[in-house]
Structure 1
């Protein structure tokens, strides 16, 4: 149960953003009540620009009037502030390892995968597909013998890597490129099934049909043509 405090917690986010949804997941897992403020990322509000003047991006967590930006930073702040249901390991080495894999997901897998799913035009970059798979193979190896990337229970890396499970893998249906085929990535697919057995996770991911419609509409606006 979350600590009883008189606190004001507000999240500026966007319903289809994996970076926003990971914060919702952490807050829900911790049992922290919060107010959600939906943001239009194509027409940024004056509040968002004021609270995050450096990157001007969601998500932004506002805790008792103080803004915190960047999703990985926010996740650590949440874990440090609300101690119940820890998402980061307590052991210093294991904590450092979790931070490493979280940065790997955001700085390597996400950036490389965007060269595939975010490519404008009819031709797909096969080299980018293979580069993304090569990175995912490292994540696949990390899952061998584990129920979750955090070990036996949902943890920091799992929350961050929902980006793979519920964004990258859903996008495959639209762009026509099977980036994470089950025959190559059985451990990742097993991990996704484990995630979907957790009520908090199911509550904090976008409804699939609505999400796919949003992605399709966004691609149309950007003139991205599925192959």
Structure 2
């Protein structure tokens, strides 16, 4: 469990937002499952907002694109990185953009996703070769008279080269694509679990037939997830700033 007091954790979780949903204020803890482009993007977005984010990937980041490593990307180089990603890479190089815009799948994985995972925002927060075997809903210990009003934590059962372990998070974003979602224990209806979000579609797939549309749809979902978490309907970090 986290070292903070239960009360401080509940204080940032039990406020109702404009959508009549529960919110989670930074620095709430979020697990992102799936190291494809949208999993990395969701992690980056959360870190921009001040959340404590950890990304879990069963293989390596961008693994689904490895079979096409030497093939050219089917989109323009500047379309495979979001404005947030370009800003994060630019900050590392103190330039107006990343040093190399990806031209092939391999460059996208190495120079794009890989460098983002080594940026100041995500360094040390990406756990490759770590499979989420199961997600267990874990009640929060509280003195509240009605504990049913307190949303459960998420206990992730993890497996890696070092063995099995567990980790507790306040929110989970699943970005594994179709068929890759871990089992969620003791939850009768996983479609309406508080603080559990899914980026729908093949969110870890670098081989989409319409890659640009696929990424843009994912960015919209990510923006809505964090707008809901923060209780700010107008929150959109992709929206150009007015000058």
TM-score normalized by structure 1?
0.29
Larger relative CO (CA 8 A, sep 6+): 1 or 2? 2
Q: Which has the higher helix share?
A: 1
TM-score normalized by structure 2?
0.27
Q: Which has the higher strand share?
A: 2
